[in-house]
Structure 1
Amino acid sequence: LPNLAARTSASELVFRLSADPQTLDWNLAHSSYETYIIMNLMDGLVEEGEDLRPRPALAEKWELSKDGKTYTFFLRNGVNWSDGRSLRASDFVDSWIRLLSPQTGSQYAQFLFEIENAEAFHRGQIKKPELIGVRAVGDHKLVVKLRQPLPYFIHLLSFWVTFPIRLDLIKQHGDEWTLPEKIATLGPFLLSSWKKGNQLVLRKNPNYRGIIPSVDQVRAIIEADDQRARTLFEQGKIDFLADATTSDVIRFQSEQKKIRIKHYPYLSTYYLAFNIKSKFLKNIYIRKALSGSIDRKALASALQGGHQAATGWLPPGIPGHRNASNPSLELYEARANLAKAGYPDGSGFPKLTLWIEKVDGAETLGAFLKKTWKENLGIDVGFEIPQPEDLQQALKMGVTDLFVKHWGADFPDPANFFDVFTSSSPANWTNWTSVEYDRLAFKARTINDENKRLLLYGAAEKILVNSDSVIVPLFFKPTTVLLGPKIKSLSISPLNYLFFKTVHLNK
């Protein structure tokens, strides 16, 4: 069981992680368990402001060439790692080469592919890392050359995989370089201790480059059991719950305790997708029948968690989200499409299985869609809510007929959403490819004029959602947090980042 000893400081924040971070190596990290910790241990060249515009962090300023292909970053003076060594521009070069190296095996190597020769290096087509378009000029200047203009490139540099790294410590300690006694960081907090399966403790960095946090210490209790976590929260042993469910909201609203419920916007879209290679769902008329019979407003209402019916693929907060590509609820047309597929009134329709990501409200969602398709089309569709690793395996094997997942933004730009369904995307589990969709998505990436970009993305969305009926955007869901009486202020960003340096506690 987690160590629930008395708090060591009045200025201690205690929260729950449902699992240990898989790694604290930020070139490799890829889940929320890691990001809650890494985003408080480290900084990048830039950070996303509350308005989702990049602002200076480790870079004091930057310049962009007239052709939009060369960035020059000027690092702040006086920034030191926690072991006392000063930050150098070469720490970014080391990090980015390591991220791109095929030996590293990072899921996010493609983030830097638009840097000159970066993709060729990752694919082994060139062997010399010095040919990659990133170089240090002295200790405080970093020059980055892109193969083509990329309007959102600056946003990528707020993402953890691009943070600077200490290659000397990695060479010295190997895989153990992230242990508390060996790691060097430069963010607002330091890694004090980590007892796996028990707890992880951060303490504030008195030498942080920015505003020193008001919280002295942050303790993450590793607690896998949801019910026990809620008991600890009610007992005041955890200060907030970042993964509150709809049932939590209903329960605590009615109990009128000193517990506040906060909803924070989250740049994510929950969607239904079809496996185009499925024996039956390769038939576009079946896809159109299934998608056209869903009442998304009724679904959002049934889920009761502050959900908002999706009008298109992009969530509010991402430019272009008003494209409204979703097909309207036209039961006559949906039934006509089912008849065209050879199943009038659902007669003889095969039994399909819907796979649903294990999220809050998954059972309600599955039951709603099952009932919808039975009542509106006369067909039976079963559903399963597998463990995350089982769903991932099924998607890789291509055995899912149709599935519900969500995509959360890594950075606030439409490219991050539309790239998901390009033919080369590792996140495209639909087995669908479209030369025209790829052309539009790739062309839109490089255009600076936002209106022209959004027109291209709008055309790509029509192919994805309307003409080819590959996905059905279902709803947008906020991040819901339960705040205990000790929390004065806490916020979670639309990118689902929780910065402990912004937290204030009641005295």
Structure 2
Amino acid sequence: MDHDGGLTGPSTGGRRRRWTAALAVVVALALLASAFRLPVGGAAPAHAPEAVRAAEPDLRITGFAPDSYDPAESADVGTAATLAQLYEGLTAFDPSLTVRPALARDWQVDADGRRIVFRLRDGLTFSDGSPLAAGDVVRSWLRVIRPDRPSPLASLLADVEGALDYLTGRESDPETVGIRALDRERVEVRFRTPASYFLAAAASPTLAVVPPGIETGASMRPGTFVGSGGYVLAAAGDTALTLEANARYWAGPPALGRIEMITDLAGESPVTRFEDGLLDYTGIASYDASWIGWDRDLGASLRAVPSLTVEYYGFDTTRPPFDDARVRRAFALAVDWRRLATLAGSDYEAANSLVPPGIPGRSNADFLPPHDPDEAQRLLADAGFPGGAGFPDVALQTGGNAFDAAVRESFREELGVTLRAEVLDDFFARLYSDDPPLLWHLGWIADYPHPQDFLGLLLGGGQVTNYGRWSDPDYDAALTRAAEATDPAAQRAAYDDAERIVRDQVPIVPVAYSAGWALSREGLLGADPAGIGIIRFAGLAWDR
């Protein structure tokens, strides 16, 4: 899923301030845990009135107020982290990133990897008690690829048989899509190509199961919210969301009955809020982490937060000048990307692959284009722009990030090319428009921990999230070999072939992997940094 290069956390002033540090809140959040339930900060004082104790949340945590409570309409990590509490998918991840059953109790995968049958748990219901059946799964997933209003992450279903034809309007009958209910308990998914990754993809918040009332918006209203996840939305204010445990959750009622998500800090520092006892978990910036690590009081609460995230620059490969691979490669070789990432700060680690560390099956090989200004200048001259002469007017368009100024300076110094800089408020909309940026920066956070989520969704031919519209038959063939492979070594070799093509053709350049920092209250179980960076509130509890 997309992010535009900074802190995913609550606003400190306006509703959505431009991000300033790497994924420090949402990415700080971990996966599953189970333990005992206690109120925030321990038991309430014995003299506290019962009504006061009941009004107190069990947890206060920073988070995002989504633009929409519809999973099919979400694409950013902040929204996904919130919706993951309200809706559930067929599968989930444990802290080791192993796929586990969620709404599905089990599944069968055909030997050729082109068909999966999920079997739902007995007695599933939505939070209002209405039954949740296989038909609800089919309806929820078809909404992701509806032609009139497709999801930003419709690519998650791109390998499903008939999905692309339905998505693009070449086929109007949803019955032609390879998703169907065999009966009330079983969902069959057929694929046009082997899809060994799909059990992991099914855990994405975008593919969560939603109730029928979502079509009219009736099920998304605070106080009468209907979902399939561990919590329901009880209230939504200007500065916080209140979530209450779903008593009908498939895994049983969550340990924490009431959670307050702070979405606007009103200009205050999250560190100050944490020190004052007004937050139990919050992401923080690296400059705060640098001193907190040495602080006698706060140091024990500091958590380093890994993230399955890559920052990259991309080119529109269908329009001049970047339709010429020589130009793209010249731009890639002109920049010392490793030095750039190092100088950007402790939030970043230099990238050597589009697939970030921590993804199972990731290669250890180095696929980053080398820093070679002489070769860059030669390639640009061969493409008809010696010393940058005659190069067209091009803007580097982003949502704002830590790298743009240094990248533009490298292009000017090494290639003689001066680019305009444009920070776009409608950056994501432009990526999907008929007039996308020629050169842009983006961050991608794993929807599911598999190389396919990066190599397939970002660069596969015909994928909605292949923003540069690049296509290479050898690359797509390598992805197919990877999907067909049953041996992990063979799959890795196929993905290595794909990454070598990316390194040489340069549709994108991976720049850095980002991480972050958080403060976590002592005794909060299940908040250790792990997994894909989205906490499952249903797995949190207090321990004394």
Q: Shared topology, TM-score over 0.5? A: yes
User: Counterpart amino acid of 1:289?
Assistant: A
Contact 1:267 1:317 in 2 (8 A): yes
Number of the residue aligned with 2:225: 183
Determine if the alignment matches structure 1 residue 81 to structure 2 residue 126: yes
Q: CA deviation at 1:436?
A: 3.3
1:455 aligns with 2:493: yes
Q: How many residues align?
A: 492
User: Structure 1 residues 53, 22: closer, same or farther in 2, change over 3 A?
Assistant: same
Over residues 381-433 of structure 1, what are the superposed CA-to-partner deviations in whole Å (9 max), with x where a residue is unaligned?
Answer: 5544443x246437746464432212222122222212312342332333543
Query: In the TM superposition, what are the counterparts of 1:280-429 in structure 2 within 5 Å?
Result: 280-318=321-359, 319-340=361-382, 353-358=395-400, 362-363=401-402, 365-373=403-411, 376=414, 380-381=418-419, 383-387=421-425, 389-390=426-427, 392-393=429-430, 396=433, 398=435, 400-419=437-456, 420-429=458-467
Distance in 2, Cα, partners of 1:313 & 1:16: 29
**Is the contact made by 1:15 and 1:219 (CA closer than 8 Å) also made in structure 2?**
yes
Q: CA deviation at 1:211?
A: 5.6
Distance 1:182 1:304 in 2: 45
Question: Structure 1 counterpart of 2:292, which letter?
Answer: F
| Aligned residue in 1 for 2:312 | 271
Tell whether the 8 Å contact from 1:116 to 1:147 is kept in structure 2 after alignment.
yes
1:249 counterpart residue number: 289
The worse-fitting range, judged by mean Cα deviation, of 425-434 and 33-42 is 425-434
CA contact (8 A) 1:101 1:122 kept: yes
Q: How far apart in 2 are the matches of 1:279 and 1:350?
A: 9
Query: Which structure exhibits the higher relative contact order, with contacts defined as CA atoms closer than 8 Å and separated by 6 or more residues?
Result: 2
Question: What's the counterpart of residue 479 of structure 2?
Answer: 441
- In structure 2, the residue matched to 1:43 is 88
2:21 alignment partner in structure 1: none
Give the C-alpha shift of residue 52 in structure 1: 1.8
- Cα distance change on mapping 1:111 and 1:339 into 2, 3 Å: closer
Check 1:293–1:108 CA distance in 2 against 1; reply closer, same or farther (3 A cut). Answer: closer
DSSP 3-state at the match of 1:27? helix
- Within 5 Å, give how 1:176-215 maps onto structure 2: 176-195=218-237, 197-210=238-251, 212-215=253-256
Counterpart CA distance in 1 for 2:160 and 2:387 is 54
Offset at residue 137 of structure 1 (A): 4.2
Whole-angstrom distance in 2 between the partners of 1:399 and 1:489: 41
3-state DSSP class of the match of 1:322?
A: coil
RMSD between aligned residues: 3.4
The answer to whether the 8 Å contact 1:22/1:33 transfers is no
Structure 2 unaligned residues grouped into runs of 5+: 1-12, 15-51
Q: 1:253-274: CA deviations, max 9, x gaps? A: 4655425332232222111223
CA contact (8 A) 2:115 2:188 kept: yes
Q: Cα gap change, 1:275/1:194 in structure 2, threshold over 3 Å: closer, same or farther?
A: same
Q: Structure 1 stretch 32-41 or stretch 98-107: which is displaced more? A: 98-107
Paired with 2:371 and 2:453, the residues of 1 have a C-alpha distance of: 28
Distance 2:152 2:377 in 1: 42
Q: Residue 321 of structure 1 aligns to a residue in which SS?
A: coil
**TM-score, normalisation: structure 1:** 0.84
Per-residue deviation, residues 264-316 of structure 1 (Å, max 9, x unmatched): 32222111223345654445444333322333332232122242211122111
Q: Give, as a single letter, the amino acid of the residue that structure 1 aligns with 2:472.
A: S
Give how far 1:475 is off. Answer: 1.1
Q: Distance in 1 between matches of 2:287 and 2:448?
A: 30
1:499 is matched by which residue type in structure 2?
R
The 1:401/1:205 distance shift into structure 2, 3 A limit, reads closer
Note the C-alpha offset of 1:476.
0.8
1:164-183 paired onto structure 2 within 5 Å:
164-167=209-212, 169-170=213-214, 174-183=216-225
Q: For 2:466 and 2:448, how far apart are their aligned partners in 1?
A: 18
342 and 148 in structure 1: CA distance in 2 versus 1, 3 angstrom threshold: closer
In 2, the alpha carbon distance for the partners of 1:308 and 1:166 equals 41
Correspondence 1:157 to 2:199 = no
CA displacement at 1:11 relative to structure 2 = 5.7
Write the distance in 2 (CA, Å) between the matches of 1:185 and 1:482. Answer: 29
**One-letter amino acid of the structure 2 residue matched with residue 357 of structure 1:** G
- Secondary structure at the counterpart of residue 482 of structure 1: strand
Distance 1:338 1:137, change over 3 A: closer
Structure 2 residue aligned with 1:464: 502
1:500 and 2:537 matched: yes
Partner in structure 1 of residue 519 of structure 2:
482
Classify the secondary structure of the residue corresponding to 2:489.
helix
Comparing 403-412 with 205-214, greater Cα deviation is found at 205-214
The code of the aligned residue for 1:183 comes to F
Aligned partners of 2:88 and 2:208 also within 8 Å: yes
Cα deviation, residue 120, structure 1 = 3.8
1:101 and 1:348 map into 2 onto residues whose CA distance is 44
Say if 1:137 and 1:290 are closer, same or farther in 2 by CA, change over 3 A.
closer
Displacement after TM superposition at 1:10 (Å): 6.0
* Residues 186-220 of structure 1: CA deviation (Å, up to 9, x unaligned): 3222222223x332111223443326433221111
CA distance in structure 2 between the partners assigned to 1:185 and 1:385 by the alignment: 37
Point out the more displaced range, 324-333 or 441-450. Answer: 441-450
CA–CA distance in structure 2, aligned partners of residues 401 and 131 of structure 1: 36
User: Hey, what's the Cα distance between the residues in 1 that align with 2:324 and 2:154?
Assistant: 35
Counterpart of 1:59? 104
